[in-house]
Amino acid sequence: ADRPDRVIWRNGEFIPWNEAVVHVNAVGHASVSAAFEGVHSYWSPQRGQLLGFRFRDHMQRMLDSLRLSWLAPPFDADELVAAAVELLRRVSEPGRDVYVRPWGFAAGLHREQMVPAGTPAEIVIDSWDFESKLGRGRTCTLAVSSWPRFNTNASPATMKVFANYHNGRLGTIDARRRGADWPIFTNGNGEVTESSGACIAVIKDGVVATPDLSSGVLDSITRRTVLQLAEEAGIPTQTRRIDRTELYLADEIFLVGTAAEILPAVEVDGFPIGTGQAGPVTRQLEAAYHDVVRGVVDSHEEWLVPVERA
Ligand code: PMP
């Protein structure tokens, strides 16, 4: 990810990666007041073009997170989309998928956590190459975290703010220590919420179910995408409360998110899921998602932003 040769977008300017620095006194304190996004762009061999995926939805969600954080970003969603596209035009290479990381944080020096309302936000857009795992047969194992999810009524889970990720990190380390790849968090009522950096979907008797937003989950753009693709394929979906035991009795489970893409889970807390292999509905949805993001099909052009080559 270290790319001293790359440019980074900062507050409307392209600057060398190495020069994108802040003072130490800004780091910890401004981090409490900071929101971010993770966005994918996929190389399309069919089109010979890089395709940004749902850029505007991601930028709008970041602006919403900043608004709820009482920070004042000096750009609107369209300006941020244009900035990300121009950044990709400058840094991307044919054949490569690129991860885009926009984030915003309280501008200036702070020695107090209680950064006042209305503080301007600095906005930065960084990027790095990544390798999509779609269609590569990847799977994962899950463990219900011994740390419950943070209370969404205390710190809204719909805000994609760095401060919310402390709980995710504790759960991830807890899961790894118990030999699993990713945690699944339950909320104070024992309901399933999400993983540390992805949402979850549970399939039983052909129905795809995901926890509803009031369970305390990020309003995941990939989750929305996959629910829509499922409906279009005639696969019934439900957004509702999900009990922990439903995980153990599921036919199929997958994680869903920008980075996770569609990641089949084959075990949870030692219970094999279904046959202990990725299931057919998950594979069907993974293929449908792949075909959209790679521009194999043109059924959802509204989600794609083509990046013209420099
Ligand atoms: N939940 C959490 C906690 C996440 O960090 C992410 C990744 N942004 C997701 C869910 C998935 O969201 P999206 O599909 O918008 O990437």
Separation CA 255–CA 182 (nearest Å)? 9
Q: Is 258 in the pocket of ligand 1 (CB under 6 A)?
A: yes
- In order, the DSSP letters of 174-231 are HHHHTT-SEEE-B-TTSBB---SSSEEEEEETTEEEEE-GGGT----HHHHHHHHHHH
Q: Is the CB of 164 under 6 A from ligand 1?
A: no
Q: CA angle, corner 204, sides to 200 and 208, nearest 5?
A: 50
Residue 222 CA: which ligand 1 atom is closest?
Answer: 14
Q: What is the pLDDT of residue 26?
A: 86
Distance 16 CA to ligand 1 centre (A): 29
Task: Name the segment(s) of the chain with CATH classification 3.30.470.10.
Answer: 7-130
Is the Cβ atom of 211 under 6 angstroms away from ligand 1? Answer: no
pLDDT in tens, 285-298: 999 999 999 999 99
Q: Which of 220, 254, 256 to mutate to test the pocket of ligand 1 (most atoms within 8 A of CB)?
A: 220
Cβ atoms of 176 and 206 closer than 8 Å: no
Ligand 1 in contact with 194 (CB < 6 A)? yes
Helix/strand/coil for 170: helix
Ligand 1 atom nearest residue 58's Cα: 15
Cα torsion 57, 289, 101, 124 to 10°: value is -30
The CATH code of domain 140-293 reads: 3.20.10.10
Task: Name the segment(s) of the chain with CATH classification 3.20.10.10.
Answer: 140-293
pLDDT at residue 1, as a whole number: 57
Please give the pLDDT value at position 272: 98
Look at residue 280 and give its three-state secondary structure: helix
- The whole-angstrom distance between residue 116's C-alpha and the CA centroid of its chain comes to 28
Nearest atom in ligand 1 to the alpha carbon of residue 38 is 8
Contacts of 124 (CB under 8 A, 6+ apart): 8, 9, 10, 11, 20, 102, 103, 104
Rg (the chain; Cα; Å): 20
pLDDT in tens, the chain (310 residues): 567 789 999 999 999 999 999 998 888 888 899 999 999 999 999 999 999 999 999 999 999 999 999 999 999 999 999 999 999 999 999 999 999 999 999 999 888 889 999 999 999 999 999 999 999 999 999 999 999 999 999 999 999 999 999 999 999 999 999 999 999 999 999 999 999 999 999 999 999 999 999 999 999 999 999 999 999 999 999 999 999 999 999 999 999 999 999 999 999 999 999 999 999 999 999 999 999 999 999 999 999 999 987 6
Q: What is this structure's pTM? A: 0.97
Any atom of ligand 1 within 6 Å of the Cβ of 199: yes
Highest CATH level, class, for 7-130: alpha beta
Compute the distance from residue 89 Cα to the ligand 1 centre, in Å. Answer: 25
State the DSSP code for 108.
S
